[in-house]
Amino acid sequence: GNSVTQMEGPVTLSEEAFLTINCTYTATGYPSLFWYVQYPGEGLQLLLKATKADDKGSNKGFEATYRKETTSFHLEKGSVQVSDSAVYFCALSDTGTASKLTFGTGTRLQVTL
Amino acid sequence: DSGVTQTPKHLITATGQRVTLRCSPRSGDLSVYWYQQSLDQGLQFLIQYYNGEERAKGNILERFSAQQFPDLHSELNLSSLELGDSALYFCASSVDVNSPLHFGNGTRLTVT
């Protein structure tokens, strides 16, 4: 079956530091890949997505590239801010559909001044 | 604000009881999804409805059921509640099955 593995948190960084959150996946076919962010007390929000190999999703300074050869979709940001503190979820969906998302366990990011 | 409304925000009930969680999708969204988020299981897909019909089923227990009504709102019914059912239950909606999901803020269920 499908599965997503994320690096364990929490990740603690100083403001303006470089962020990498690793995500690898196992899936049949050609899944779509997503990063969702969950701020305290809120639901998940779509951060970015990529639907095919070598696609790069980007939003709000965050980027992730769909690497089929390494089955990875690592999240990166060049300079984090305190407001980026949240839980980040990597997810995949079955081919051609956004339903039945399979999520990773989430990585908590804490950014300090 | 995602546009997805879930009620109630918090629910505390006893073991063996039955509760109903309600979700109003974003205007225009036909598809509704239910997810359970717990500390030990993470985020688990429960069930999906599209325009009133069940579309996909995930790890949903037989004690749980859901439906989507003609006005497209959805309800998740949890019965014979156990301590282990304590979790955050999220509803999400999308325009169609190929579009990204928009999540509500969740209902936190505590079973005592």
Greatest mean pLDDT range, A2-11, A97-106, B37-46, B70-79: B70-79
State the count of interchain CB pairs (< 8 A) between A and B: 53
- The C-alpha atoms of residue A7 and residue A21 are separated, in whole angstroms, by 6
Q: Give the bridge partners for A77, in sequence order.
A: A19, A62
**pLDDT, average across residues A79-101:** 85
| Cα first-last separation, chain A | 41
Look at residue A89 and give its three-state secondary structure. Answer: strand
Cβ distance A105 to B94 less than 8 Å, yes or no, reads no
Asked if A93 and A34 count as a contact pair (C-beta separation under 8 A), the reply is yes
For A13-24, write each residue's pLDDT tens digit: 999 999 999 999
**B58 half-sphere exposure, CB direction, 13 A CA radius:** 20
Q: What residues of chain B lie within 8 A of the CB of A44, using their CB? A: 43, 90, 92, 101, 103
Return the sign of the alpha-carbon dihedral for residues A105, A3, B85, B70.
positive
**pLDDT, average across residues A84-101:** 82
For A104, phi and psi rounded to 5 degrees? -75, 180
Cβ distance A98 to B98 less than 8 Å, yes or no, reads yes
Measured between CB atoms, does A35 come within 8 Å of chain B?
no
Q: Given pLDDT bands bounded at 50, 70 and 90, which one contains residue A95?
A: low
**A38 half-sphere exposure, CB direction, 13 A CA radius:** 24
Asked if B106 and B6 count as a contact pair (C-beta separation under 8 A), the reply is yes
* DSSP codes, A3-17: EEEE--S-EEEETT-
Chain A: give the shortest CA distance to residue B98, in Å. Answer: 4
Chain A: give the shortest CA distance to residue B80, in Å. Answer: 26
**Strand-strand pairing, B74-78 and B19-24:** antiparallel
**pLDDT, average across residues B82-88:** 96
For B20-43, write each residue's pLDDT tens digit: 999 999 999 999 999 999 888 888
Q: Given pLDDT bands bounded at 50, 70 and 90, which one contains residue B67?
A: very high
Q: What residues of chain A lie within 8 A of the CB of B97, using their CB? A: 97-99
